[in-house]
Structure 1
Amino acid sequence: MGQHQHELSAMNTGASFSDLWSPDVMLFTLLIATVYFLVTGPMHKRFEHATTATAKQKLLFVFGLLLFYAAQGSPISYYGHHYLFSLHMLQQSILYFALPPIVLLAMPEWLLEKIFQPRPLKAILRAVTHPLVAALLFNTLFSFYHIPFIFDAAALNHEWMTVYHVVLIFAAFAMWWPIVSPLSDSKRQLAGLKKLTYIFANGVLITPACALIIFASDPLYATYISAPQLFPSLDTFSDQRLGGIIMKLVQELVYGSVLAYVFYHWYKQEKQEDLPMDEQPAVALLRKTPTMDEGRV
């Protein structure tokens, strides 16, 4: 067959509306939204010490759901799974780097405390959100997934790929937990230079997987080598390299933004602590002033 027989246009792949826009994912997304707004809205009075979600939290949650649907229920998912490795990497970038911190910041503290109130869940949370465990768990799973024979084996079995992606999403949330944990009393929270070091370490740990894809001398994945070519100007090898670049750019953008934000607040806090006592903000002084109970021996 000639080359043009393999170069299908994006409008001629035989995909139905259901294939492209995944009504099941749409319904799941709407269900999650309904539960969130009911629990953090009219139903919050049923829970002890519960408050309604703030406007910022609601906005972040909606944005998170839109990102989730874009990654899992839009043409990004369909074409990424069947034709373009670059779109598959864009999907993963959204799910593992953009989605978790947004969702965690959107969750009221009391709600997460209720979710993880059962002792088994609390024990699992404490184990997988330890900074060292969380960083190694996510980056190891992510790197293994992109080993060619593992990737191709998962691509041939939709159920196994789904399971692996679900595990990776949970691992991504665990990896982000030490950075943006909403629980104020969490012993897994990092602060200051420790948080900066943790973010930097995650950036280093994921680099080999991206480098393997970007600097490979040949196409790595049989799944996409045998896939029809959608665009004449984007062959399998170029698509693979583009996918690695997309992943690295999104990861660098997200980690870089979080690094800048964390560094700014750490630096600001350090400057406040260096000020004379009479020039420090009242809130900072209150945090330093021991209570009567703390002053007792």
Structure 2
Amino acid sequence: MSVAKVAALAYYPVKGLAGVPVESAEVGPTGLLNDRLFMLVEPDGTFLSQRKLPAMATLRASLSGDGLRLSAPGAPALEADIRYDGKRRDVSLFGKWFGQGVAQDPAVDAWFTDRLGTPAALVRVTPEHERPGWGAHRGLTGFGDAHALMITSQASLDELNARILEHGGDAIPMNRFRPNLVISGWTEPHTEDKVLRMTAGAVEIGYSARGIRCAVPTVDQATGAKSGPEPTRTLATYRREPAYGGGVSFGIKAAVLAPGTLRVGDEITVHEWIPDGADPAPALR
């Protein structure tokens, strides 16, 4: 097997908004620095995502010191101070996790409401936020769906696109899957499924569970418009996961076992593999 390396890194300051590609990142217990520290919520605290509002893909957030800058195509940018603590509001994810977030500047809420055409408020994780994941390695996460890292491989995308093209569809880019870490160098598709424990640069990573995909990969991340049915239609022909309720998978969710610095080009070393045909995650959900 050829040498596996980190091919790309990205973090998502606001859950559901555009990602920020980086060449290097500090990685802590909840993932890449500043990943999914913020989240948009409805008036009742339910999180908002591209599942409901695909246009979120075109909105961008960037962090600089204690400031947050928001931008969108054809709209005025907005800069606001980050509120690390203060007024709290109850929030929830998937009706399974219920916690609190720190309310941000009302001007930020108004900006998002105008852009999305529906009431939206921005919250940040609280200083004491500590939310465990689940699976073979639980780890911790901020406002991610349930885990610190989403990991994919180039070989897996190449296999998927070959199948899509075979049936007359158009190839899709990796950003449809919104990964934190993309691995190149593996020749076999979905090798990531078999990795129980690995290091990437100075970071030790543990497999949590398969990455079961919702409708978000059908959203064009450049335009914020749904362009389905791919890749879900093709994934359904060979990536059904009976142990996860019949969903389709692409990539893995993972926990940070030892923090450190991660850089594009860092080598991947697998220390422990999952036995063929096995998956320890479903029994631990």
Of structures 1 and 2, the one scoring higher in RCO (CA 8 A, sep 6+) is 2
TM-score, normalisation: structure 1? 0.26
Higher Cα radius of gyration: 1
Higher helix share: 1
TM-score, normalisation: structure 2? 0.27
